[in-house]
Homo-oligomer: A and B are copies of this chain.
Amino acid sequence: MTEILDISDASAKSQFVLYWGDMGGQWGVNRSVAQIHALLFLSVSPLNAEQISSELGIARSNVSNSLKELVGWKLIRRIPVPGDRREHFGAETDVWEMAMRIAQGRKEREIDPAISAISDCLEKAETEPEIHPEVLKRMQEMQAFLTTVDTWYGQMLNVPKSKLNLLMKMGNKVISLLTLTGKKSE
């Protein structure tokens, strides 16, 4: 019924959706996608596209595309509702799981392509006799760094959430623990 979220009834829930929506910009997803994600994250039961469309006041086609993107990130999934032929969607509600999915996506979209791009450059650089050694060195350091991060990312993504949680809660205590054995360098 409501075509657009009414400001006067701005419940905590709709405020969350609105906030999340425009934070999406910072995070690299558009407002529609972020709003839909927020809405589904706070929905107790799965919603169909029509419900999302009317609840948020965004076009049906836009909802369709946005849902596809969110499915691509594995942040939501189709949830069949018995006796209803329309597709319903529900969000992953475990925040750690959510974060891991986003991390996975970012690794694939940001880190992996960077590594392969730099590999190309390095390959080329090594055939250039006139290249300044410092330039070569910097490229190599960047490559080494990205590879380390990539590997680490990959490993962390396979650590059970509970342990990750523990690890983070410990924070920098882990460092002291590590360096009990090691020497006090840097």
Contacts and interface: CB of A to CB of B under 8 A. Distances in A.
A171 interface: yes
Interface stretch (A10-18, A55-63, A65-73, A77-85): A10-18
Chain A interface, DSSP helix/strand/loop, else mixed: helix
**Copy number in this complex?**
2
B145 A172 contact: no
Contacts of A20: 117
Contact of A99 (B19, B117, B145, B161): B145
Interface of A: 11-13, 15-16, 19-20, 23, 26-28, 41-42, 44, 93, 95-96, 99, 109-110, 113-114, 117-118, 120-122, 124-125, 128, 131-132, 134-135, 138-139, 141-142, 144-145, 148-149, 151-152, 155-156, 158-163, 165-172, 174-175, 177-179, 182, 185-186
